[in-house]
Amino acid sequence: MNEAAIRWISGPVLRAVTRDPFRIHEAVHVGAKGVLGEVIRLHGEEITVQLFEDGTGLKPGDPVQGQEAPLSVRLGPGLLGNIFDGLLRSLSGEGRDFLLPGRFLLPAGRFHLTPLVEPGRILKGGDPFAEARLAPDAHAAQLCLVPPDRAGEVVTMAGRGEYADDEPVLTLRDGQGRNLQVAMSHSWPVRVPRPVAKRLPVDPPLLTGQRILDCLFPVARGGKAMVPGGFGTGKTVLLETIAKWCDAEVIIYLGCGERGNEMAGVLDEFPRLEDPKTGRPLMERMVVIANTSNMPVAAREASVYTGITVAEYFRDQGLRVALMADSTSRWAEALREVSGRLGELPGEGGYPAYLSTRLAEFYERAARVTTLSGKNGSLTVMGAVSPPSSDFSEPVTIHTKRYVRNFWALDRKRAQARFYPAIDPISSYSEDADVLALWWSKQGAPAWAAQRRRFLTLLEEQTRLERMARILGKDALPPGQRLTLLCAELINDGFLRQSAFSVKDRYASPRKQIRMMGLLTRFMERAEAAVGSGVAVERIAALPILRRLQRMGEDIAEEEYERFDALEQMLEADFGALSGPSGEEKPS
């Protein structure tokens, strides 16, 4: 083991002297308690270490022990359904009301193993060799993978039975005739992306159940999205809502430098919610990684890599994975803090010059891929951005924007009116939308792309007209434009507004979304025709169908499709009555 002795310490940074061959990013334990840290600089006989935990009480002369491996995490069947800190250490355990720094033992989990291979089989890195289950009859099985950097011929494979997740169960003989021991879990350095066989174009949509996303700004599997917004605009609720209802098979929820109560809220709520597809508690498909804002900053910097490494591990099992990171700005700030302590030259906003590169590397790890074992897997990444003073021209927002394909901007005005999700339909965009139109068409919505366009154009027109109305007064606008305003308001209220807390409306299936989009489009067609034939806009605004359409998301539950049929009839009847002989109006 590499050894060094502290020479100088201040805050979370220390320098130590050594003769041993430490390497950059090597994990270290410091002092008697074994406070965790990482080597960040080498200079002659001196190493510089950043601490991931509070170093109170450390002093010159205290030992620094190198682990001779970069900061790594243990990936295995014990992850799902659990909560970890930023270095993937379990937070569970009675009697641990407070977190104290220092080494603590991670109890190995015990799992039921079902072998998938026999002696003689040749395995390459990433190949599955067994299934692991929490109980022998548990329905959910996870694949155990050969570590990507190992390969060989199976010499022995343990039989069916219960094993600790870090206990060797498979022996491989590699090309040089050496025996390699493999357990259900394996260790992987967090800063190194896990290899894949091939990257694939992003496709079909990752359905979120949120209308404004799925229909206006959809994200594809393997895609990347950012959610910038000032405090209180709804970043966390949006990411949590997507975590609950999106159609990924595994969710990695990364709380990076945010509130402890929010993490507690996730742990309180998710086990009680059911996955709409499997009927299983949502928590079973989740891994929660929590580095709350009061935890040490260096661990916050690492937590982002921990999260994405765990996500890649599930992707490598051929699963559809989604990672939510709330908030990537806290990670960037941690980078800035560490960089400042190292005396590096600050760039824009005090961030180090490599901020942009780090963001690019992180988002590049999102992809749809063919895994090493030939399966298809995907990792979709969604990151919240918390711009200081809600200023979207600050470095983290700007640089992130360069690397993501989806921009979901939150708007303070909407949030203040309690119009949620407060995604601004004007400045937000999706680069995945064009690819995804085909999927919608196959779902029986060939008009999806055209309707989407129409909604977006209408909303844009609304901003322009409202600006004009502010100068001239609404009444001065011609009927066609007044109708545009009416329809835009209807789309906002009847389609874009969707409360995360409404039991009926928090999740909308594609089918419900298609019905709602269709009804609104029909309303616009009929209304335009009516106005074209001289009907006053005020009479359209007074139609009873309007309120029904405004509230249909909240009023009509998933299974009640026949109520949409009823709405359609009502719509036709309402307009029919307008243009009937008594309703005809002469253009003035």
Ligand X SMILES: Nc1ncnc2c1ncn2[C@@H]1O[C@H](COP(=O)(O)OP(=O)(O)O)[C@@H](O)[C@H]1O
Range 256-315, binding another protein (CB under 8 A): 257, 259-261, 263-265, 267-268, 290, 292-295, 297
Q: How far apart are CA 495 and CA 242, in angstroms?
A: 17
Measured CA angle at 416 (ends 412, 422), to 5 deg: 55
* CB 312, CB 305: distance < 8 Å: no
Query: Does residue 389 touch another protein according to CB under 8 A?
Result: yes
Contact set for another protein, span 457-486 (CB under 8 A): 469-475
- Min dist CB 258 to Mg ion, Å, is 6
Contact set for Mg ion, span 241-280 (CB under 5 A): none
CB atoms within 10 A of CB 209: 23
Distance in Å from the first CA to the final CA of the chain: 92
| Residue that has been written with the tokens 């060939």 in this structure | 446
Return the H-helix or E-strand segment holding 431.
Answer: none
Interacting span for another protein (CB under 8 A) from 42-50, 106-114, 301-309, 410-418: 410-418
Query: Does residue 234 touch ligand X according to CB under 6 A?
Result: yes
Contact set for ligand X, span 495-524 (CB under 6 A): 499-501
268 binds, among another protein, Mg ion, ligand X, none (CB under 5 to 8 A by kind): another protein
DSSP summary character for residue 346:
B
Single residue of 61, 103, 231, 538 touching ligand X by CB under 6 A: 231
Q: How far apart are CA 482 and CA 490, in angstroms?
A: 12
340 binds, among another protein, Mg ion, ligand X, none (CB under 5 to 8 A by kind): another protein
- Min dist CB 270 to ligand X, Å, is 16
393 binds, among Mg ion, ligand X, another protein, none (CB under 5 to 8 A by kind): none
229 binds, among another protein, ligand X, Mg ion, none (CB under 5 to 8 A by kind): ligand X
CA-nearest of 112, 201, 181 to 435 is 201
Say whether the peptide bond before residue 92 is cis (omega within 30 degrees of 0): no
Strands of 152-157's sheet, edge to edge?
A: 122-123, 152-157, 168-173, 179-183
Contact set for another protein, span 487-526 (CB under 8 A): 493, 501
Q: Which two tokens stand for residue 253?
A: 């929820």
Interacting span for another protein (CB under 8 A) from 120-128, 171-179, 342-350, 572-580: 342-350
Query: Does residue 244 touch ligand X according to CB under 6 A?
Result: no
Is residue 500 left, alpha or beta, with left meaning phi > 0 and alpha meaning psi from -120 to 50?
A: alpha
Q: How far apart are CA 342 and CA 189, in angstroms?
A: 23
CA distances for 575 relative to 531, 544, 554, angstroms: 11, 10, 24
Interacting span for another protein (CB under 8 A) from 147-155, 277-285, 397-405, 545-553: 545-553
Contact code string over 546-575 relative to another protein, x by CB under 8 A: xx--xx--xx--------------------
Contact set for ligand X, span 401-440 (CB under 6 A): 420-421
Type of residue found at 386? S
- Min dist CB 76 to another protein, Å, is 20
292 binds, among Mg ion, another protein, ligand X, none (CB under 5 to 8 A by kind): another protein
* CB 110, CB 95: distance < 8 Å: no
Query: Which stretches of 116-230 are assigned E, i.e. beta strand?
Result: 122-123, 128-133, 142-145, 152-157, 161-164, 168-173, 179-183, 186-189, 198-200, 224-228
Nearer to ligand X, 233 or 371 (CB): 233
Query: Does residue 354 touch another protein according to CB under 8 A?
Result: no
* CB 18, CB 4: distance < 8 Å: yes
* CB 193, CB 363: distance < 8 Å: no
Nearer to another protein, 86 or 218 (CB): 86
Query: Does residue 244 touch another protein according to CB under 8 A?
Result: no
Q: What are the phi and psi torsion angles at 583 (to 5°)?
A: -90, -10
Interacting span for another protein (CB under 8 A) from 153-161, 253-261, 398-406, 431-439: 253-261
Query: Does residue 430 touch Mg ion according to CB under 5 A?
Result: no
Query: Does residue 10 touch another protein according to CB under 8 A?
Result: yes
Contact set for ligand X, span 336-395 (CB under 6 A): none
Query: Does residue 7 touch another protein according to CB under 8 A?
Result: yes
- Min dist CB 326 to Mg ion, Å, is 6
Query: Does residue 11 touch another protein according to CB under 8 A?
Result: yes
Single residue of 244, 285, 315, 330 touching another protein by CB under 8 A: 330
Single residue of 2, 208, 386, 451 touching another protein by CB under 8 A: 386
Contact set for another protein, span 100-129 (CB under 8 A): 100
Q: Which two tokens stand for residue 400?
A: 């992130």
97 binds, among ligand X, another protein, Mg ion, none (CB under 5 to 8 A by kind): another protein
CA-nearest of 173, 131, 168 to 154 is 173
Contact set for another protein, span 156-215 (CB under 8 A): none
CA-nearest of 204, 273, 196 to 241 is 273
Interacting span for another protein (CB under 8 A) from 4-12, 117-125, 134-142, 437-445: 4-12
397 binds, among Mg ion, ligand X, another protein, none (CB under 5 to 8 A by kind): none
Bridge partners (DSSP) listed for residue 133? 112
Single residue of 152, 229, 307, 387 touching ligand X by CB under 6 A: 229
Q: Which two tokens stand for residue 319?
A: 């699963």
Single residue of 48, 50, 210, 236 touching Mg ion by CB under 5 A: 236
CA-nearest of 321, 266, 274 to 290 is 266
Helix (H, G, I), strand (E, B) or coil at 544: helix
CA-nearest of 143, 191, 401 to 302 is 191
587 binds, among ligand X, Mg ion, another protein, none (CB under 5 to 8 A by kind): none
Contact set for ligand X, span 40-69 (CB under 6 A): none
Q: In the complex, which residues of this chain contact Mg ion (CB under 5 A)?
A: 235-236
Q: In the complex, which residues of this chain contact ligand X (CB under 6 A)?
A: 229, 231-238, 241, 420-421, 499-501
